[in-house]
């Protein structure tokens, strides 16, 4: 929990705690959206996909609420040092979480397209499966790192984005080969590629959240520090 809960004002402690809990709630919702969207894709469950689309409104509402709450804290508490870094990290984190929700919604919509128009087979599933699991883990870990402000977990999670990118590149290349071999599969292949693309972007957003955690905890900005990604 670091030093956030050490204010003489009990009310300020409660406010910080409350806004952090809202971020975790928002993150939990997006995790659930991703799980349901992938379940929808793998199990051909269009109801699960429809649920995901509906959940996105709730995520959007939470973003606006948390944004307001941060503005109120900045205006009334004039936080400094680590508290200020925390609020700035929250303002940025919720933008990323909201966009993760958009990508999960995209996966749900693409899965519905696929269910309506193509036969998805075991081989198609396998392509997405490894990447889906990796991105789910990354999402969970980045939110855990945020919850505990654990910058070591954040750094290791940040680094695993490289693996997601590499899986995405492999999948793109193999999709292109499949499309050339069987042009009738182009529409299906593109939908699968776009699902992979949405997963890759969720990985990017998780990576961003990890950066904010490190920045908050250490006061160290690792954005655009490419050497850390190696």
Non-local (6+) Cβ contacts of 208 within 8 A are 92, 93, 96
Q: Tell whether residue 10 is a contact of a copy of itself (CB under 8 A).
A: no
Non-local (6+) Cβ contacts of 73 within 8 A are 15, 16, 19, 79, 87
Count the residues of the shown chain that bind a copy of itself, applying the rule CB under 8 A: 30
Q: Tell whether residue 53 is a contact of a copy of itself (CB under 8 A).
A: no
**Integer Cα distance of 148 and 143 in angstroms:** 9
Among the listed residues 3, 152, 223, 229, the single contact to a copy of itself using CB under 8 A: 223
Alpha helix (H) ranges present in 78-185? 81-117, 122-148, 151-181
Q: Tell whether residue 133 is a contact of a copy of itself (CB under 8 A).
A: no
Q: Tell whether residue 117 is a contact of a copy of itself (CB under 8 A).
A: no
Q: Tell whether residue 184 is a contact of a copy of itself (CB under 8 A).
A: yes
Q: Tell whether residue 9 is a contact of a copy of itself (CB under 8 A).
A: no
* Separation in Å, CA 155 to CA 43, 63, 100, 136: 34, 25, 19, 17
Q: Give the other-Cβ count within 10 Å of 173's Cβ.
A: 10
Q: Tell whether residue 58 is a contact of a copy of itself (CB under 8 A).
A: no
Name residue, tokens 């182009």.
186
C-beta closer to a copy of itself: residue 84 or 120: 84
Residues within the interface to a copy of itself (CB under 8 A): 57, 60-61, 63-64, 67, 70-71, 74-75, 78, 80-81, 84-85, 88, 91-92, 95, 176, 179-180, 183-184, 186-187, 190, 221, 223-224
């Amino acid at each position: 929990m670091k030093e956030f809960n050490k204010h003489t004002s009990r009310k300020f402690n409660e406010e910080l705690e409350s806004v952090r809990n809202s971020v975790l709630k928002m993150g939990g919702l997006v995790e659930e959206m991703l799980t349901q969207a992938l379940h929808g894709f793998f199990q051909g469950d269009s109801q699960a996909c429809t649920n995901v689309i509906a959940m996105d409104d709730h995520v959007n509402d939470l973003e606006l609420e948390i944004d307001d709450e941060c503005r109120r804290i900045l205006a009334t508490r004039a936080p400094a040092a680590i508290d200020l870094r925390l609020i700035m990290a929250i303002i940025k984190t919720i933008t990323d979480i909201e966009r993760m929700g958009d990508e999960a919604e995209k996966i749900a919509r693409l899965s519905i397209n696929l269910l309506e128009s193509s036969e998805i087979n075991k081989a198609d599933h396998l392509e997405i499966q490894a990447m889906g699991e990796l991105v789910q883990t990354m999402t969970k870990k980045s939110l855990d790192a945020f919850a505990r402000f654990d910058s070591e977990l954040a750094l290791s999670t940040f680094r695993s984005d490289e693996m997601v990118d590499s899986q995405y590149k492999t999948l793109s290349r193999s999709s292109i080969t499949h499309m050339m071999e069987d042009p009738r599969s182009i529409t299906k292949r593109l939908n699968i590629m776009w699902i992979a693309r949405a997963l890759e972007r969720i990985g990017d957003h998780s990576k961003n959240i990890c950066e904010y955690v490190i920045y908050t905890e250490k006061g160290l900005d690792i954005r655009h520090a490419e050497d850390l990604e190696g």
